[in-house]
Amino acid sequence: MIKRRVVITGIGAVTPVGNDAETAWQNIIRGKSGIGPLTRVNKDEFPAKVAAEVKDFNPEDFLDKKDARKMDRFTHFAVASALMAVKDAGLSIDESNAHRVGVWIGSGIGGMETYERQFETFLQRGYRRVSPFFVPMMIPDMAAGQVSILLGAKGVNSCTVTACATGTNSIGDAFKVIQRGDADVMITGGTEAPITKIAIAGFCANTALTTNPDPNTASRPFDKNRDGFVMGEGAGIVVLEELNHALKRGAKIYAEIVGYGATGDAYHITAPAPAGEGGARAMKMALDDAGVSPEEVDYINAHGTSTEYNDKFETMAIKTVFGEHAYKIPVSSTKSMTGHLLGATGAVEAIFTALAIKEGVIPPTMNYETPDPECDLDYVPNEARKKDVRVAISNSFGFGGHNATIVLKKFEP
């Protein structure tokens, strides 16, 4: 089977570092963090005191007020990002092409805020006062559903739920849909709004979140003094398009997606497999799928959560796959500025990876101060770096042992 070529023609994002992709990117390459004091819940009730919250976002800038009230915050983020991405791509969807335009948007935990509020209503006032929109507001697939409805996209419509690998899995799966010929365009990515009382409580209970109260130093991937991740929220959406379809309409192209790998650890519900064995297989699978050798990779956007085991084992996995070349590849974690957006994080990082290729700038890993002997690669510490990036990979790893890697390449006709 001839594999059809797939390119990124549109990007949209709502993030802690900016409510559109361009603003987010400019802040990232300047090293500007979106992490601040935890305000969406009472921080005095939790050991975690900081979060990467989306600021000054109004869903009514993108949606009718009545429609917005029927959606959870995670769907608001997805709709806004999708509308921006489609506009950026200059894509028109009508009856002539709607059945060839699909949507694949994932979420790790879906409408947690809606669930909390409606459960409190149920306890206090009984089932009759629970909103009839409770279920369609809460379920993770509704971001994809609402985007499909609003844009009139009638092709493949799906949702991935693979914890923190969700965004990357979604883009990878959508890439394969186009590659095999089941669609010409896919609107894809991830979205999450997990800064709620029960979600913060759950992640605090399993000691995954940092207890560092200083927003400026809380997220410190690969640094010896890291002690957990910073919860974030937001969405990232890309428009993927079959190459000839994009060229025919004169679309701009950010990068080409050329490979995808997805594996399972089969090891533990939260901890990564020893030495990052599953992550290494995902990277190798993606490189093999792309027909790219390890020596051709110029940049790795790491999962880099700022947790002890993730950063250590991801470093080991990179060494397993790249050997001595691992020490020559810049590896950075943008979570040092965005926090960890759970199911949205891989999609936002795919956008940053595509822009690194397009702009020739590698984002930094901020707050890198004390080297860890077990994390000894080039983490692009504290300052962006100009570099011609022809091939880059982006990694995402999730609870449940989910590993996903995509390979992006500078577009060449």
Domain assignment present for residue 86? The answer is yes
What CATH number is associated with residue 343? 3.40.47.10
Domain assignment present for residue 413? The answer is no
Same domain, 137 and 236: yes
Give me the DSSP letters along 88-110.
HHT----TTTGGGEEEEEE-SS-
What Cα–Cα distance (Å) separates residue 213 from each residue in 51, 176, 181, 233?
A: 10, 42, 50, 18
Last residue of a domain, one of 190, 225, 248: 248
CA–centroid distance for 272 within its chain: 19
Bridge-based pairing of strands 101-106 and 385-386 is: unpaired
Residue listed under structure tokens 């963090």:
33
Same domain, 239 and 373: no
Domain assignment present for residue 25? The answer is yes
Same domain, 78 and 121: yes
Same domain, 263 and 241: no
Q: What CA–CA distance (Å, rounded) separates 48 from 40?
A: 12
Last residue of a domain, one of 180, 213, 248: 248
Same domain, 273 and 179: no
Domain assignment present for residue 412? The answer is no
Domain assignment present for residue 253? The answer is no
E-assigned strands of 246-325?
255-264, 299-301
HSE (side-chain half, CA atoms, 13 Å) at 185: 30
pLDDT along the chain (413 residues), means of 10: 92 98 98 98 96 98 96 98 98 97 98 96 95 96 98 98 98 98 98 97 96 97 98 98 98 98 97 96 98 98 97 98 98 98 98 98 98 98 98 98 98 92
Q: What CA–CA distance (Å, rounded) separates 107 from 37?
A: 24
State residue 89's pLDDT score. Answer: 98
Neighbour tally for 2: CB within 10 Å: 7
Contact 343, 108 (CB under 8 A): yes
Same domain, 178 and 284: no
> By residue range, what is the domain housing residue 35?
7-248
> Is residue 164 annotated as part of the catalytic site, yes or no?
yes
State residue 343's pLDDT score. Answer: 98
Domain assignment present for residue 109? The answer is yes
Q: Which of the following is catalytic: 159, 164, 204, 375?
A: 164
Same domain, 239 and 144: yes
Domain assignment present for residue 374? The answer is yes
Domain assignment present for residue 2? The answer is no
Q: Which two tokens stand for residue 205?
A: 């209970």
Same domain, 292 and 159: no
Helix (H) or strand (E) holding 321: helix 308-322
Same domain, 276 and 344: yes
Last residue of a domain, one of 248, 272, 296: 248
Same domain, 264 and 242: no
Helix (H, G, I), strand (E, B) or coil at 13: strand
Same domain, 208 and 328: no
Same domain, 162 and 309: no
Contact 353, 301 (CB under 8 A): yes
**How many structural domains is the chain composed of?**
2
